[in-house]
Amino acid sequence: MVKTLAPCLVAVALGSLGSVANAQDNHLTVYTYDAFAADWGPGPALKAGFEARCDCTIDFVAADSSIGALRRAQLEGEDTEADIILGLDTATMGEGIESGLFVEHGLDYPELDLPMDWADPVFAPVDYGYFAFVYDTEALDTPPASFQDLVALPEDFRIVIQDPRASTPGLGLVLWIKAVYGEEAAAYWEELAPYILTVTGGWSESYDLFLAGEADMVLSYTTSPAYHVIAEDETRYQAARFEEGHYTQIEVAGILGSSPDIDLARAFLDYLMTPEAQATLPETNWMYPIVEPEGGLNPGFDAMIDPDPALLLDADTVAANTRAWIDEAFAALR
């Protein structure tokens, strides 16, 4: 408590010195994707929690996607209202760095509960999950257990995926297949193409198609079934465990260099990594917490598949090759 309060007090002091003209200081604006800021998302609880411990106000501004939030800040340039962009992930961090908008946060990380070491100086983790194909146990007895199984299924088996340029799970699949198949990825996409019903712009359209019974499996998260179990008491939806492993997505937040109150922004990122803040994330954002949350993780998550081995490609390699890998996948789909 003392540890997180101190930067707040410093921020208050610096803020009052830094800008006399702006009486409305001690205010943070966080650009994020819509589901995060929504009334039913983590936004409201995090706002209440953070405002209770700092003498400040914080507002979440929703863009249609995390990339949309980044684009908006890019367009606004130096005079953007945003202090923090939250929601970029391990695959799009490179885009963020390339924009030149972010500064190093200077945080000391607590003991993190992530499948890999995390030491990024610019982006702090918020929560994480693994990509997986979700299926309906009432419609499918034996789900595929590997990428090889998937392309050996009957011809009328249909999966629905998302556009890698518009949606983070869509990009996740491109990276997942790359991590598993490497040089053979293009050949695998050729084999996969006939099974793809459609490529939607966003995750929601594809998940809706799946729930409506139009597709046998949808590209989503290993934790998607937790939503159905906890919020709907429905156990029919499960994630298919692939023996090659599951690709990891870590959602991150970063501070913009243009922020007038970088210390307050840092305090918020620090708050996000507290057990209190982490306790709101699993059941509002349906992702895993990065530290043991207050009150533990809802047992509804216990039944989630073990993603081992958790896959993650090196961030620099991803940033340098994303476009080529997307083109490679699309060549097979055209």
Contact 215, 160 (CB under 8 A): yes
Residue span 275-314 as binding mask against another protein, x where in contact by CB under 8 A, dash where not:
-----------x----------------------------
Contact 248, 127 (CB under 8 A): no
- Sequence-ordered list of residues with C-beta below 8 angstroms from that of 12, at least 6 positions apart, any chain: 26, 54, 55, 56
Q: How near is the Cβ of 154 to another protein at its closest, in Å?
A: 12
Q: How near is the Cβ of 36 to another protein at its closest, in Å?
A: 10
Q: How near is the Cβ of 165 to another protein at its closest, in Å?
A: 4
Closest CA to 43 of 55, 29, 53: 29
- Sequence-ordered list of residues with C-beta below 8 angstroms from that of 58, at least 6 positions apart, any chain: 27, 28, 29, 30, 46, 47, 50, 51, 268
- 50 is an interface residue for another protein by CB under 8 A: no
Residue span 6-45 as binding mask against another protein, x where in contact by CB under 8 A, dash where not:
----------------------------xx-xxxxx-x--
Nearer to another protein, 215 or 265 (CB): 215
- 199 is an interface residue for another protein by CB under 8 A: yes
Residues between 85 and 144 that touch another protein (CB under 8 A): none
- 327 is an interface residue for another protein by CB under 8 A: yes
Q: Which stretch binds another protein (CB under 8 A): 54-62, 113-121, 238-246, 300-308?
A: 54-62
Q: Which residue has the tokens 């990380």?
A: 109
Identify the three-state secondary structure at position 247.
strand
Site for another protein (CB under 8 A): which residue of 201, 244, 298, 305? 201
Residues touching another protein, count (CB under 8 A): 51
Give the span between the Cα atoms of 76 and 59, in whole angstroms: 18
Give the span between the Cα atoms of 220 and 228, in whole angstroms: 13
Give the span between the Cα atoms of 294 and 122, in whole angstroms: 26
- 207 is an interface residue for another protein by CB under 8 A: yes
What is the rounded end-to-end Cα distance, in angstroms, of the chain? 55
* Positions that interact with another protein (CB under 8 A): 34-35, 37-41, 43, 60-62, 64, 67-68, 71, 74-77, 156, 158, 163, 165-166, 196-205, 207-209, 211-214, 224, 227-228, 231, 286, 323, 327, 330, 333-334
